[in-house]
Structure 1
Amino acid sequence: MAHIGPAYGSLAANQAKISAKRDPALDQEVQTWIETIIGEKFPNGSYEDALKDGVILCKLMNKLQPNSIPKYATSGGSFKLRENIALFQTAARAYGLEDAELFQSVDLFEKRNIPQVTQCLFALGRHAQRHHFNGPILGPKMSEANMREFTEEQLNAAKNALPLLNEGMNKGANQSGQNFGLTRHI
């Protein structure tokens, strides 16, 4: 990884915005969820450092969807470790995550947008619930479709109903036009 110097100007402002979005409580909640699922503690260090090489993410995907990542690197150079992140992203897409829910590999590997990584893992937790994963739950329950069936009689009754605007929603409006064009003198 190349050394990136300090940011100035708009880049510094953008990085400050991203840092402000970070919530350590959410990071801790994700960490606890992952540790429970994979059955091992994060190594000592920060949350982002533990996830950086993608090994934990690959283990997580294999627990949620067995053999979704059959082979991943546990050591090696930065290129091999970045491939782990790409393998995780591909498996997460196959699991049902949308591209908008994923993060870019530089977001994690170079620690540019850790809040996006956390949000991705929350999305993965929601999808795990939908896949009826029998482990711990992360985040709110994912919504499900609630299709309604109406009879032809109910649909016709709705067509004949008066809209709310005609039912008195505009009581305060002046229908006579008496105050039109008048101004208030201060």
Structure 2
Amino acid sequence: MSNNRATKSGFAAEAQKKILSKYSPELASETLEWIAQLTGESINTSGDTANFWETLKDGILLCNLVNQIQAGSVKKVQQSKMAFKCMENINSFLAAAKNLGVTSDELFQTVDLWEQQNLHSVVICLQALGRKAPNYGKPGLGPKEAEKNTRQFTEEQLNAGKNTIGLQMGSNKGATQSGINFGNTRHM
């Protein structure tokens, strides 16, 4: 785990400091409250990094969460506290989240949570999952996702757009050639 690693220095320390600065305790707290509401578990919803990590690190709560959103998303939840079993739970959660519609850009890596490397990305993933939850009849988290709004145009409407000169093409209204003196001598 992260306790056995040497402290970072140089560029690695600067990069880690920048990653850690993105973490928002308010968003983490809001996310934990949503998880507690959906799973029915009584958990500490404090958003500080230590509590957030301690609550989610074994992956059991995450697996229960996706199983609440869609039953059977994670077939077997490992109840062991052994490192590889916990990481297996986290991987199962990530696979289920991807199947529920969370994009790969919003997913986190297992070590981001297990070794506390990037808890901000964990919050981002859970927020994205919260936006997908209403699609499965569960209470959501965060803003509602936009819905597809396709429009149909007639051929006449499409052709009318071809006759309009866009402003990017420029305009010559009000332009004259006065003041152009290329090739002329300068009169003193």
Q: TM-score, normalised by structure 1?
A: 0.85
Report how far residue 8 of structure 1 moved. Answer: 0.6
Local SS of the residue matching 2:105: helix
Query: 2:70·2:136 contact (CA, 8 Å) conserved in 1?
Result: no
Query: 2:127·2:142 contact (CA, 8 Å) conserved in 1?
Result: yes
Report how far residue 178 of structure 1 moved. Answer: 3.2
Report how far residue 66 of structure 1 moved. Answer: 0.5
What corresponds to 2:105 in structure 1?
Answer: 100
**Is 1:76 aligned to 2:78, yes or no?**
no
**Is 1:39 aligned to 2:28, yes or no?**
no
2:69 is aligned, of 64, 70, 77, to 64
2:138 is aligned, of 134, 158, 164, to 134
2:53 is aligned, of 48, 54, 59, to 48
**Residue type matched to 1:14 in 2?**
A
**CA shift digits 1:103-146 (9 cap, x unpaired):** 000000000000000000011111123x24232x2111112221
Aligned counterparts of 2:146 and 2:19: Cα–Cα separation in 1 = 28
State the identity as a percent: 45
Aligned counterparts of 2:101 and 2:122: Cα–Cα separation in 1 = 16
- Map 1:87-166 onto structure 2 (within 5 A): 87-129=92-134, 131-135=135-139, 137-165=140-168
Aligned counterparts of 1:119 and 1:173: Cα–Cα separation in 2 = 53
**Is 1:14 aligned to 2:15, yes or no?**
yes
Report how far residue 101 of structure 1 moved. Answer: 1.2
Aligned counterparts of 1:175 and 1:72: Cα–Cα separation in 2 = 78
Query: 2:69·2:138 contact (CA, 8 Å) conserved in 1?
Result: no
Aligned counterparts of 1:77 and 1:174: Cα–Cα separation in 2 = 80
**Residue type matched to 1:58 in 2?**
C
> RMSD of aligned C-alpha atoms?
2.4
Larger mean Cα displacement after TM superposition, 40-49 or 24-33: 40-49
What corresponds to 1:29 in structure 2?
Answer: 30
Aligned counterparts of 1:160 and 1:116: Cα–Cα separation in 2 = 48
**Is 1:178 aligned to 2:180, yes or no?**
yes
Q: Structure 1 stretches (4+) deviating beyond 3 angstroms?
A: 165-168, 170-180
